Structures are given as structure tokens and as C-alpha cells.
Amino acid sequence: MTAQFDQDDGVEIACVLIAHDRRRSDRAPGSKPRWQDGRFGRGIRQRLMATYRKLVDRNLIFADAWVHADAALTGRTYIDLPAAFSESDRQTLIDLNIDVVVHCGLRAVSPEVIASAKSGVWSLLGSPAGIEQAYPAGFWPVLKGAPLTRSTLSVTFADRAPVVLAQSWMATSRHSTRDNISRHYWKMLFSIPRAIRRMRDLGASVYFADCRARVDQSFERNFSAPHPGALAYGMYVARAVLRKAIALVDNNVFEQRWRLRRAAPFALTGETRLAEIQHNPDWVYRADPFIHVSGESRFLFFEEYCDRRKLGHLSRVSLDADGRPDGDVRMVLQRPYHLSYPQVLDVDGEQYMLPETSGNKTIELYKATKFPDEWTLHSVLMEDIDASDATLLQRDGLWWLFANVKSHPAVSSQDECFLYFAEDLVGPWQAHPLNPVVSDCRTSRPGGAMIEKDGRLIRPTQDCTYRYGYGLNFMEVTALSTTDYREVLLEHIPPRARSGAIGIHTYAESGDIAFVDELYRSPRWKRKG
């Protein structure tokens, strides 16, 4: 976060305030026995945690955000906050002329600190900064088995009610409290500089009023009791070990693969029906369908993942009048990095393709030199960006680009959809001021080209609650401008269990023809090639 602020000339980190943990692990002479002051149960929990990390969490690779660091390493002044403030302590805080205090710890922030911050104390804990927490945010959803974790950034004032500034929903890590906590903190840390810049642009009073109108203002405590009991924690560890064992067996016996499937076109009324399955060859799986019409010809473009190369390339097949594949599948684009999600569009009589190239940390635009089989790189729309499923739309005289962007390697690519706009297809692209315009793993990630029905703009998206690409959504965009973005859910399509599917995540439509892709489990011993 320090690096993010350092890139902004209008923001300066004045100092670091340190409030030490009140809990002590050493026993004073004459103190109560461990079983009377709760330390006995704490010791059991610590041993259970050690067992859990050895059996479940030991192979997890993640960037731990909950690691103590030396505040002096930031290069800023740091101040140890006293338990009781003197007049000189209060004057020191006043002299610092602080606009915002960012609250990252578990202790409640003292009234003196809250009063010193002109624009309040901004907390990452999911509760107002004046409430002390027992565990970091993201801990209890894992322990309780909740499928979703709500992350919030809130501000606490000295003289008025707190306000939720931003919220995000992510899929809860099933196997790791540490991973869930870290993903929460890394994601919400990046929300702080965004929020401060927007507050600076709008003015504090306008910004806080806008947040009250846009963001769910409910607060959720990060615990239902001060600590989980030893029995409750032991049951959690047992469940986690069992889930880990089942996952290891399942991953070694089965593999997850994508296949294409025909569907009925989306309608504003009624349920979207799925039709016949398009089976894969032995050595590839197919996903991310996009339909393109050129004169009397219809083509289906899609990703093919090659088991031999361990990378995806882009292929196409012709469709007959009924929308069924007709003829041989042909590879149209291959790069030394993974390719997927091949959106094809016509612009001034020319054909362009925007595939996902996150493996190269770019958003690349290709142009057809001989449609539909030959493509060359036309331009790089964005560089040094980890963007997934970038989707283009031309509307109201502007080009719009939707993409899920990872702000940090530890953050999921399913959580946050960013929006950009430009007057020309090749840019320059400008970030939307409300970015991320959607921060919810249930509806964020694009799931195909946008479609229009009876003058209403529909954005297909993915539901990644239980896994990547678990379900498909149709969202109606109700506001799209350079200053505003809103959407509402029209339909949710879960995977069809009767066909053996466990996921569905991309939708393609042209006229009366539509395709989706499905995720299914295939026995490893049946794979050939």
C-alpha cells in the first residue's frame, strides 16, 4: 500500500501509529491458573492450529498479509500509542494534521486517534474502528464453512455514524484461514488509495454521501464469540483434514475438463435451455465459445487446451444453417503463452479478435489478414496488467472494455471487474472512476460478448462462488457512462447435474444459435494422447 500512495503526488503518509496487543502470554506471579483465565483453551487451540497447518495448510503458496513488520522499515515516523493519553500526546496527534488514519490491527482505536483524523479512521476489519476484534477479518467465514466472505472498508468518525466505503465478496477458501485472511487484506488494501483519490476528487462530504447511496451500509462483526472453543476448533480441523483428503483423492482419480454445448438463445422471460453436448477429442478440451457471422457464413471460435502443450490455443469451426458444427476444426492462433476467450468483432469492415492473454500480462488485439484462419497482432491495448476475459463493447460513441483485474498476485481473478473507455479501439484507454465497477465473485467476471434484447443491454457473467466458472449469469446493465455504472441480475444458470456438469461459464449467441461451455469431471484413466 505504501508503494501505491507513493505513486500519487496528492497523498502523503505522515506517520505510522503502533498500538501493541494487550494480550500477554507470560504469567505473572500469583496470577490465576491457565484453566481459569482461558489460556488453557488457548493452548489447545494453538496445538490444533499447528496440526492443521501440518496436515492441511502446509503446501499452500500465498503471500501472507498478516505478518508483523517493523514500522521503521517504511521510512516514516512511527509513534507508540500510550494506553492513556496525556495532553502532550493529544497535541502530537493534532500537530500531525492527519486527514485519514488507516486501521489494520485488531485493537479498538482510541477516541483520541479518531478525533485527530479529519476524514475519519478507515478500517479493514468489517466493523467500526471503535470495536475491538478477536481475529482478523476473513477468519470466521472459513471456520463456519460460509461459501462467501464479505470484505469491507469502513470509516469511523468522532461525531457521526460510521460509513461503509467499499465492499467486496469473494469465495471463501475451503482449506485455509490464513489464505482467506490474506486475500481479504491484500484486496482491501488496494481499495484504500482508490477511495482516497476519489474522496480527493469529489470532496469528503460528497464522497461519503455517494458511498451511503451506493454501498450496503450493514456492518458484520468478524466473530460471533470472542474465541472459538477448543471443541469447535477441533471440529473445524477435523472437517478441514477430511476435505483435504477427499480433494487429494478426487484430483488424482479425476480431472476437470471443459466441453462445448448448444443452448437456446437467452430470453428476457423464461429459463435458458441447454441442448446437445459437443464431445471433445481425446487430446484437447474446448471452452469459451464465441459466434461470428460473416455474410452467409457462421463460425464458432473457441479455446482449445492441448494436453501435450499444457497451453491453450484458438480454433474455429464452421456452423451449418441449424447452428451445428460443419467441417473440420482449424487452429487459427497460437502463441508461446496461453490463449483463451476469443471475442471476434467487425470494425469498419475489418475483423478483429481480442483473446485473453493474461499469461503475457497484456491485453492484445489481433486483426484478420485472411479471415477466418489467419490473424496477426495489431496492437497491445494495455501492458503490465493481469486481466482476465477482457470484453469489448461499442456504444454511445465510445469503446468500453470490461476485464477482471488482479491487483495483487494473492488476490483472486474472480473478484473484481474493471471498466475502461476510449474514443478509439486502440485507445488511449481511461479507467472508470468507480473501478472496480463490480467487486463480487458471484457476478464480476465476464462470461461472453454483451448482447442486446429489446433495447436492453445484457452482460453475461460468471458465478465463481463455489469454484471458478461454477455458474452463468445474465446481468442487465442499467447505467453505463463515464461517471456511472450499475447492473442487476436477470437470470442465473447453475451447472446441469444430470449431464455430469460441475460448472458453466461462457455464453455465445447469434440470432437463433447459442453455445455455452460446461465443466465436467473425467476419469484420468480414460484420457488418451
Instruction: Give me the DSSP letters along 32-69.
Output: PPHHHHTHHHHHHHHHHHHHHHHHTSTT-----S----
Supply the pLDDT for residue 139: 86
What is the four-CA torsion angle of 303, 307, 311, 317, rounded to 10 degrees? -20
- Greatest Cα pair distance, the chain, in angstroms, is 90
Phi and psi dihedrals of 309, rounded to 5? -85, -20
Using the predicted structure, report yes or no on whether residue 42 has a pLDDT greater than 70.
no
Q: What gap in Å lies between CA 405 and CA 33, rounded to an integer?
A: 52
Supply the pLDDT for residue 132: 82
Residues 6+ apart with CB under 8 A from 118: 98, 99, 100, 204
**Three-point CA angle 56, 307, 391, nearest 5°:** 85
| Residue among 291, 290, 293 nearest 447 (CA) | 290
Using the predicted structure, report yes or no on whether residue 522 has a pLDDT greater than 80.
yes
Return the higher-pLDDT residue of 420 and 70: 420
Q: What gap in Å lies between CA 402 and CA 86, rounded to an integer?
A: 52
Nine-digit cell at 11? 497523498
Using the predicted structure, report yes or no on whether residue 32 has a pLDDT greater than 60.
no
Q: What gap in Å lies between CA 217 and CA 344, rounded to an integer?
A: 41
State if pTM tops 0.85.
yes
Burial of residue 319, with CB atoms counted within 10 A of its CB: 0-12 exposed, 13-18 middle, 19 or more buried:
buried
DSSP string for residues in 280-329: PPTTEEEEEEEEEEETTEEEEEEEEEETTTTEEEEEEEEE-TTS-B-S--
**Cell 494422447, residue located:** 529
Q: What gap in Å lies between CA 412 and CA 151, rounded to an integer?
A: 13
DSSP label at residue 488: E
Confidence of residue 8 (pLDDT cuts 50, 70, 90): low
Mean pLDDT of the chain: 87
Give the model confidence (pLDDT) of 106-133 as tens digits.
888 888 899 989 999 999 887 888 888 8
Cis peptide before 325 (omega within 30 of 0): no
Phi and psi dihedrals of 27, rounded to 5? -95, 125
Give the model confidence (pLDDT) of 290-332 as tens digits.
999 988 899 999 999 988 888 999 999 999 988 999 989 999 9
Supply the pLDDT for residue 371: 95
Using the predicted structure, report yes or no on whether residue 272 has a pLDDT greater than 50.
yes
Using the predicted structure, report yes or no on whether residue 446 has a pLDDT greater than 60.
yes
Return the higher-pLDDT residue of 140 and 491: 491
Using the predicted structure, report yes or no on whether residue 527 has a pLDDT greater than 80.
no
Using the predicted structure, report yes or no on whether residue 27 has a pLDDT greater than 50.
no
Residues of the chain above pLDDT 70, percent: 88
Using the predicted structure, report yes or no on whether residue 271 has a pLDDT greater than 90.
no
Task: Determine contact, residues 148/170, Cβ cutoff 8 Å.
Answer: yes
Supply the pLDDT for residue 34: 43
Residues 6+ apart with CB under 8 A from 450: 391, 393, 457, 458, 459, 460, 477
Return the higher-pLDDT residue of 90 and 405: 405
**Cell 495532553, residue located:** 87
Give the model confidence (pLDDT) of 206-241 as tens digits.
999 999 999 999 887 665 556 677 777 788 888 888
Distances (CA, A) of 517 to 110, 184, 244, 506: 53, 30, 28, 6
Supply the pLDDT for residue 301: 98
Supply the pLDDT for residue 37: 44
Supply the pLDDT for residue 92: 82
For 224-239, b where at least 16 C-beta lie within 10 A, e where not — what string?
eeeebebeebbebbee
| Residue among 330, 313, 379 nearest 352 (CA) | 379
Supply the pLDDT for residue 76: 63
Using the predicted structure, report yes or no on whether residue 7 has a pLDDT greater than 60.
no
Supply the pLDDT for residue 282: 83
The average pLDDT across 396-421 equals 94
| Residue among 22, 474, 441 nearest 271 (CA) | 474
Task: Determine contact, residues 187/174, Cβ cutoff 8 Å.
Answer: no
**Cell 488482479, residue located:** 406
Using the predicted structure, report yes or no on whether residue 43 has a pLDDT greater than 90.
no
Q: What gap in Å lies between CA 364 and CA 386, rounded to an integer?
A: 12
Confidence of residue 443 (pLDDT cuts 50, 70, 90): very high
The average pLDDT across 451-466 equals 95
Supply the pLDDT for residue 334: 96
Supply the pLDDT for residue 135: 82
| Beta-ladder partners of 333 | 314
Using the predicted structure, report yes or no on whether residue 26 has a pLDDT greater than 70.
no
The sign of the CA dihedral 6, 8, 14, 18 is negative
Of 54-58, 116-120, 157-161, 479-483, where does the model show the most confidence? Answer: 479-483
Nine-digit cell at 462? 460468471
Could you give the strand order of the β-sheet that contains 121-123, starting from the edge strand earlier in sequence?
A: 101-103, 121-123, 148-156, 163-171
Using the predicted structure, report yes or no on whether residue 24 has a pLDDT greater than 70.
no
- Ramachandran area for residue 511 (φ above 0: left; ψ -120 to 50: alpha; else beta): left
Distances (CA, A) of 80 to 85, 103, 109, 438: 11, 14, 13, 38
